[in-house]
Amino acid sequence: MALLEVRDLHTAFTTPAGTVNAVNGVSFNLERGKVLGIVGESGSGKSVTAYSIMQILEKNGKIVSGSVKIDGQELVGAGEKVMKTVRGNKISIIFQDPMTSLNPTYTVGHQLTEAILLHTNRNKKQAYDRAVEMLRLVNINEPHKRMKQYPYEFSGGMRQRIMIAMALACEPDILIADEPTTALDVTIQAQILELMKSLQEELGMAIIMITHDLGVVAQMCDEVIVMYAGSICEQGTADEIFYNPRHEYTKGLMHSIPTVNNDDEKLEPISGTPIDLLNMPKGCPFAPRCDAAMKICLRERCQRMEINEDHAAACWMNVKEQMEQEEGGEEA
């Protein structure tokens, strides 16, 4: 049994302009000790997927249907009481912006021990010791002194370390990292990613890494999910996604980023602009921007299709290819 099982998750937001279906039928499994990357552009539903798992959606957002199971325990519809025992203990989250996710009016020590007291049975003294231990774990020097300081006395990279320390203090099975390094400089980003990787190996937890940066994915992730307009267009192991992309959107993404090998070539951008979630087309959501779009792409959405045991994609091109192969096989 997988640690986390998400099945056919639908999340919608009610807005004055209409209902926005931010997540449309997302399914995946996360095994213990693995790093799963979720990539996509703004509005692709990658963060909403994570917030739905944690059930920390804004007031106007709601899980419409689907199932989220952790260790076999169903979370959708389980109620706030159950979720309080899950958050922090089983799943923790770190957010993009380390500048605003700490409370500026409390010391870092207060905020760390508060989280530990809330989620474990430790007393104040034990919680303090645990907090100091966690600061040490994320390589913050002089932890006893640092416990008494306020967030403004820390740099951006250090604040993100504190967020990581807080998220890991109760030894969760899953850490969700929502664009954890986007607000940081490259050398600090390298420090934080290195730290997350080593902690993940040490503590054996699973990580869901949400990012738009394919470089971060290549460095960190075992498995990758590519999202577009609220649905998964492709999922598989990192090597499969990078070296054998089988969805036109993933291919487009790979061609549109500068790498070390293509600097003399022109980039091949994806034409058009990201989709308006209020006016979703009937067929494949990527079809209006897709150069290879066929008639069927505009009419009907392609179902997920297994490419091999490590790889699945939802693109009619694969169906077409398969049919051509079969025809070719019959003739021969």
- By CB under 8 A, name the binding residues for another protein: 41-42, 155, 157-158, 185-191, 193-194, 212-219, 238-239, 242-243, 252-260, 262-263, 266-271, 273-274, 289
Rounded to a whole number of angstroms, the minimum distance from the CB of residue 226 to another protein is 12
User: Of 128 and 154, which CB lies nearer to another protein in the complex structure?
Assistant: 154
Distance CA 74, CA 77 (A): 8
Rounded to a whole number of angstroms, the minimum distance from the CB of residue 280 to another protein is 17
Q: What angle do CA 228, 76, 6 make, to 5 degrees?
A: 45
Distance CA 44, CA 250 (A): 13
Distance CA 74, CA 133 (A): 33
Contact 6, 53 (CB under 8 A): yes
User: Of 263 and 309, which CB lies nearer to another protein in the complex structure?
Assistant: 263
CA atoms 133, 135, 139, 140: torsion sign = negative
DSSP 8-state secondary structure symbol assigned to residue 332: -
Distance CA 318, CA 302 (A): 10
Rounded to a whole number of angstroms, the minimum distance from the CB of residue 81 to another protein is 39
Rounded to a whole number of angstroms, the minimum distance from the CB of residue 262 to another protein is 8
User: Of 1 and 260, which CB lies nearer to another protein in the complex structure?
Assistant: 260
Distance CA 276, CA 295 (A): 21
Q: Pairing state of beta strands 174-178 and 206-211? A: parallel
User: Of 202 and 263, which CB lies nearer to another protein in the complex structure?
Assistant: 263
User: Of 133 and 239, which CB lies nearer to another protein in the complex structure?
Assistant: 239
Contact 320, 306 (CB under 8 A): no
User: Of 52 and 181, which CB lies nearer to another protein in the complex structure?
Assistant: 181
Rounded to a whole number of angstroms, the minimum distance from the CB of residue 78 to another protein is 35
CA atoms 81, 171, 185, 209: torsion sign = negative
Distance CA 20, CA 64 (A): 12
Distance CA 96, CA 76 (A): 25
Rounded to a whole number of angstroms, the minimum distance from the CB of residue 311 to another protein is 14
User: Of 205 and 226, which CB lies nearer to another protein in the complex structure?
Assistant: 226
Rounded to a whole number of angstroms, the minimum distance from the CB of residue 261 to another protein is 8
- Cα 76 to Cα 137, 179, 192, distances in angstroms: 34, 25, 32
Rounded to a whole number of angstroms, the minimum distance from the CB of residue 249 to another protein is 9
User: Of 9 and 193, which CB lies nearer to another protein in the complex structure?
Assistant: 193
